[in-house]
Amino acid sequence: ITAVVSKSLDNFAAIMNFVIFPVFFLSGALYPVDNLPTILHWIAVANPFTYGVDLIKHSIAITQESTDFPLHVDALVLGAFSIVAIGFASWKFTQESTLATLINKLTGGKR
């Protein structure tokens, strides 16, 4: 999604660094989501990375108590987010201005 809305490669890199660090930090990869303060807990629940990290926890967990969410919740949230993200990116790439910009960048403006 970030690649679709960024205007240049430098802009993309800056946005990714600005977005990825807080998203990863609030994903539960470093500490349990349940230990977060209330506002950060709700941000983590809205974060799709949280469910990806939790799926990895399911693969190594012995009991359900060592994970944050049930397996079916992780799969449903990640599936829904993937559908929305792919749909948005597909719609954005089919817009004329985005498509023309992409073609110009790929061909070096020789069109």
> Considering the entire predicted model, what is its pTM?
0.73
Task: Please give the pLDDT value at position 98.
Answer: 63
Asked if residues 2 and 15 have their Cβ atoms less than 8 Å apart, the reply is: yes
> What percent of the chain is modeled with pLDDT above 70?
84
Amino acid of residue 48: P
Task: Please give the pLDDT value at position 77.
Answer: 96
Task: Please give the pLDDT value at position 96.
Answer: 65
- How many DSSP H helices and E strands does the chain contain? 6, 0
Task: Please give the pLDDT value at position 52.
Answer: 93
Is the pLDDT confidence value at 100 over 80?
no
Helix axes 48-60, 71-94, angle to 10 degrees: 140
φ and ψ of 95, to 5 deg: -70, 140
Kindly state the average pLDDT of the residues 50-76. Answer: 87
Q: For residue range 9-20, what is the model confidence (pLDDT) as tens digits?
A: 677 777 778 888
